[in-house]
Amino acid sequence: MAMTPILAMLLLAGPEPQKLPLGFRRELWEISVPVDRRPTAAQVALGDKLFNDKRLSKDDSTSCATCHDPKRAFTDGKARAEGLKKQVGQRNSPTVANALFNATQFWDGRAATLEDQAVLPITNPIEMGMDSGDEVVAKLKGLPEYVSAFKDAFGADISYEHVGRALAAFERKQVFGDSPFDRYLSGDAKALDASAKRGWMLFNSKARCQSCHSGNAVAPLFSDAKFHNIGVAAHKQDFVQLAGEALKVVRSGDQKQIDELALGSKFSELGRFMVTKSENDIGSFKTPTLRNIGVTGPYMHDGSFATLWDVMDHYNKGGLANPYLDGGMQRLGLTEAEIDDLVAFLFSLTSDTFAAVQKSELAKQKALKGKRPERDTDSATGKKNDLGDVGPTPDFAKKDPSNLGLYGPLPEH
């Protein structure tokens, strides 16, 4: 693979990033990256090569980048991931960008570390289809360039553990901030337009987004890292019956089995329950990061929402009722103008790196704005169902939206 300017820069770097983008503090990186996992230039270069190499799949057709395209903020633009032999899984491809800061990995948190997250797709029959880690190692040992690359990176022969470590080293370099919102908080009043500023205020008040997506200087992903049933999976499943069936099938602690069931079975809709077997987790999925949200659609764990307007319509009506709906879900009573402002704010969270892609995605989403399958104005405004009271409409003339929430000014870099 030809050396890109970015890769050349990484090879010259030391074991720590030279500079984190605006929006991320060095202290957060320090506590998020274990000392023995701080990537070296050789490990990052090896991980980059592995990430883009289709030979890690059974039939040389699929790489990590197939579902995590670096040009699309490490997503694929599809509702559900497509892997080996055009097989389509049950889940949407979550972004790898900024994943080093996640408390757990995947929509259901079934992987605790980046290393686990990196290798599970390689042996998943729907994704890359290798039979085992041993088969992966044997295949790589037959490729001379990898024999020397692993020696350079780890001073050891090829092992599946080191495959995971190399991929994780590459992923730990994928930090993307420098969004219009970051510049706004740093003092550039013109970085956000009036609509996005109103959206930021609504985000922290009437829209109640901050309940699960609060952002602050030590948690800049706009995620509480927890798992919630917001009713998306309730469109398809009888949760009570499905959970009973799963209890007879799922083997506690069997990460590989859970991984395969999550992507290739009806039990996928149970979400976090597959990992914990706790009734409270039925239909719950991890709160995703909102960073780069403008280019990581379609949205939700199953990619069922095409636009951010669909996302807002779902929350505006209070989700979809089911026995395990999160107690925080209630109608919002947002007007169409307020929804537009919130969407404008969400698009301001995308890194400048992906600005060109976002411009195209925004045009596509605006073209679909007239098709609103999740809209239920009667529920949102309280004309039907009993989904609580709405919050007060903020007075934009009295409060500066930059003073709301817990984010605060960003430090100098």
Q: Which of 16, 27, 30, 127 is catalytic?
A: 127
pLDDT exceeds cutoff 80 at 397: no
Q: 41-51 and 160-171 helices cross at what angle (nearest 10)?
A: 100
Residues 21, 412, 74: CA angle, nearest 5 degrees? 10
How many beta carbons lie within 10 A of that of residue 373, not counting itself? 12
In the 8-state DSSP scheme, what is residue 227? Answer: E
What's the pLDDT at 14? Answer: 46
CB neighbour list of residue 375: distance below 8 Å, 6 or more residues apart: 313, 316, 317
**pLDDT, tens digit, for every residue of 315-327?**
999 999 999 999 9
Residue 36 tokens, joined: 């023995």
What's the pLDDT at 200? Answer: 92
Strand partners, 111: 105
What's the pLDDT at 405? Answer: 52
What's the pLDDT at 225? Answer: 96
pLDDT exceeds cutoff 80 at 272: yes
Q: 336-347 and 308-316 helices cross at what angle (nearest 10)?
A: 130
**pLDDT, tens digit, for every residue of 166-220?**
999 999 999 999 999 999 988 899 999 999 999 999 999 999 999 999 887 778 9
Please state the rounded mean pLDDT for residues 81-89: 96
Nearest to 347 by CA among 79, 20, 73, 98: 73
Q: Which amino acid is at 157?
A: D
What's the pLDDT at 402? Answer: 55
Task: Look at 65-79, 232-246, 260-274, 345-359 and tell me which has the smallest mean pLDDT.
Answer: 232-246
User: What is the model's pTM?
Assistant: 0.92
Nearest-angstrom CA–CA distance, 102 and 353:
21
Q: Phi, psi (5° rounding) for residue 299? A: -110, 165
**pLDDT, tens digit, for every residue of 27-69?**
899 999 999 999 999 999 999 999 999 999 999 999 999 999 9
Residue 406, classed as helix, strand or coil, is strand
Give residue 338's Cα distance to chain centre: 25
Nearest-angstrom CA–CA distance, 126 and 146:
25
Nearest-angstrom CA–CA distance, 139 and 123:
13
**pLDDT, tens digit, for every residue of 346-393?**
999 999 999 999 999 999 999 999 999 999 999 999 998 876 778 878
> Which domains occur in the chain, in start order?
5-171 (1.10.760.10), 180-231+286-403 (1.10.760.10), 233-282 (no CATH)
Q: Please say if 27 is a catalytic residue.
A: no
